[in-house]
Homo-oligomer: A and B are copies of this chain.
């Protein structure tokens, strides 16, 4: 049987963003992205759930110490994105549309190198209570 346990840690950050394609007209952007294309931005309370799968240490009973996981999220995610404008204040979304899908992939790629290779990583990101994504699926 699969002996791995999945450990989840929920964090959050607040950010402004705008969805649009620079090559498209305002009309085309509105047609595809609706009010999310508003030129002056809107924003969200992003809820982030970081999932790490592994075999618990026989002594501590931990897959990963959540204290360490929280530190990684603080340094890689919150320091970059919390209380920021994703389009203006970050390098990564200067030329990448900050959809929930893309933000989740970016967060995965930021955290992956900080986690032991023996552990699996998965990201869930809530843009709103009703819209959320998982990466990888």
Contacts and interface: CB of A to CB of B under 8 A. Distances in A.
Contacts of A6: 133-135, 137
A93 B6 CA distance: 20
Contact of A43 (B35, B43, B56): B43
A5 B61 contact: no
Interface residues of A, number: 67
**Interface of A, helix, strand, loop or mixed by DSSP:** mixed
A42 interface: yes
Interface string A96-125: 111111101100000000000000100000
Contacts of A132: 7-8
B135 A9 contact: no
A116 to B, nearest CB: 15
A132 to B, nearest CB: 5
Interface of A: 1-12, 14-17, 19, 21, 32-36, 38, 40-45, 53-54, 56, 59-63, 65-67, 82-85, 88-89, 96-102, 104-105, 120, 128-137
